[in-house]
Chain A
Amino acid sequence: MSDARQYGELATQLVTESRRSTQTDTLLKYNDSLVRSIIREQRDLEKVAVAHVLATADALTPPPALMIIQTAIARNKRCLLAYHNHRISFLCTLYWSLGASLPPLLSAESTSIRAKLSPHEVDYLRSYHASVMTFRSEFSHELDITASITQPPKDLHVLVHVVRDCGVIQTESGSIDFRMGRRFMVRRSDIEHLIVQGYLEEV
Chain B
Amino acid sequence: MPDVEKPPAEPPADPETPLEQLTRHWMNERHAPDILPAQDVLLSSLLDHIRRQSDTIQLLRGDPSSSEEEHIRIMLAQTEVERVKFVVRSYVRTRLFKIETYARYIIANEDVQTRITAAERAYASRHAHLIDRHFYASVLQSLPESQAGLDDIPNFIMPRMITEPETTRAVFAHALEDVTVRTPEGRTVDLKQGSLTLLSFAAVANLIASGQVELV
Interface centre among A35, A39, A75 (most CB of B within 10 A): A39
Per the bound structure, the CA–CA distance linking A134 and B143 in Å amounts to 33
Chain B interface extent, by class: 35 or more
Per the bound structure, the CA–CA distance linking A85 and B90 in Å amounts to 25
Instruction: Determine which of B133, B143, B153 lies in contact with A39 in the assembled complex, contact meaning CB atoms within 8 Å.
Output: B143
Is there a chain A Cβ closer than 8 Å to B147's Cβ?
A: yes
Distance (whole angstroms) from the CB of B132 to the closest CB of chain A: 11
Distance (whole angstroms) from the CB of B34 to the closest CB of chain A: 19
Instruction: Determine which of A73, A81, A138, A153 lies in contact with B139 in the assembled complex, contact meaning CB atoms within 8 Å.
Output: A81
A84 touches B138 (CB 8 A): yes
| Nearest CB in chain B to that of A43: its residue | B144
Per the bound structure, the CA–CA distance linking A84 and B134 in Å amounts to 9
Q: Which of B12-20, B77-85, B106-114, B198-206 contacts A (4 or more CB under 8 A)?
A: B77-85
Distance (whole angstroms) from the CB of B59 to the closest CB of chain A: 13
B100 touches A118 (CB 8 A): no
B47 touches A142 (CB 8 A): yes
B134 touches A138 (CB 8 A): no
B residues in contact with A110, CB < 8 Å: none
B101-132, CB under 8 A of A: which get 1 and which 0?
Answer: 00000000000000000011011001100110
B85 touches A143 (CB 8 A): yes
A142 touches B51 (CB 8 A): yes
A84 touches B51 (CB 8 A): no
A residues in contact with B137, CB < 8 Å: 120, 123
User: What is B's interface to A at a CB cutoff of 8 Å?
Assistant: 47, 50-51, 54, 75, 78-79, 82-83, 85-86, 88-90, 92-93, 96, 100, 119-120, 122-123, 126-127, 130-131, 133-135, 137-139, 142-144, 146-147, 150, 153, 157-158, 161
A-B contact pairs, 21 of them (CB 8 A): A70-B157, A71-B157, A73-B147, A74-B153, A80-B139, A84-B135, A84-B138, A85-B135, A121-B134, A121-B138, A123-B134, A124-B130, A134-B122, A142-B85, A143-B85, A143-B88, A145-B88, A145-B89, A147-B89, A149-B86, A153-B82
Given A77-B153, A153-B83, 4 new contacts (CB under 8 A):
A81-B150, A127-B130, A135-B123, A149-B89
User: What is A's interface to B at a CB cutoff of 8 Å?
Assistant: 35, 39, 42-43, 46, 70-71, 73-75, 77-78, 80-81, 84-85, 88, 92, 118, 120-121, 123-124, 127-128, 131, 134-135, 138-139, 141-145, 147, 149, 152-153, 155-156, 188-189
